[in-house]
Amino acid sequence: MADRGEEQDRTSPTATPSAAAPASPAPEPDPVPPARPLDAIDRDILRILQTDGRASIRSVAERVHVSRANAYARINRLVEDGVIRGFGARVDHERAGQGASAYITLKIVQNSWRTVREQLQALPGATHIALVSGDFDVLLLVHTPDNRALRELVLTRIQSIPEVLSTRTLLVFEETDLGPRPDRPAELA
């Protein structure tokens, strides 16, 4: 078995290729495979997991009338295909100490979306960012402990981003989560 130094020497990108083997160009990244179509069982599994992300495999399997192994394989495929992006909790932001919520619209410098998005993702309390069409370019949803923290976020953090041309803050007085519910079976159909 080779030690770490020898292994690194053999695989080092600075190693000189042999004269017989021409240097090959760097492989291009695999393109994202097209999404596989969802069947009725997949859509039922998604509905169940959206309503209760803590549902057990056994419970999901029983509710969609497949074996546990089939349910497990389907959920894994949905994750691998990027249909399920993750599992989480729906939070009541006010009860969690985030009593001020606002939608913030931003006008940004043309072609700066990726740069601005990275900076907005790093903001405390940012929960949703969308590039949109219309009178503004970006819609941002934030939750902060209070109006003072919201003011600081907008005036100090967001407006200091060089690519942000202007902002408008829309305070949220009341929110209702319209997440998937069992009484709305048409979701994902």
At 5-14, the pLDDT tens digits run 433 333 333 3
Quickly state the pLDDT bin for 27 (edges 50, 70, 90). Answer: low
pLDDT at 29 over 50: yes
Q: What is the pLDDT of residues 68-96, one digit of tens each?
A: 999 999 999 999 999 998 888 888 888 88
Q: How would you classify residue 56: left for phi > 0, otherwise alpha for psi between -120 and 50, otherwise beta? A: beta
pLDDT at 28 over 70: no
Structure-block tokens of residue 110:
């043309």
| Contact criterion met (CB below 8 Å) for 131 and 138 | yes
Determine the Cα angle at 124 with ends 119 and 130, to 5°: 55
Q: What is the pLDDT of residues 37-72, one digit of tens each?
A: 999 999 999 999 988 889 999 999 999 999 999 999
Beta bridge partners of 102: 142, 171
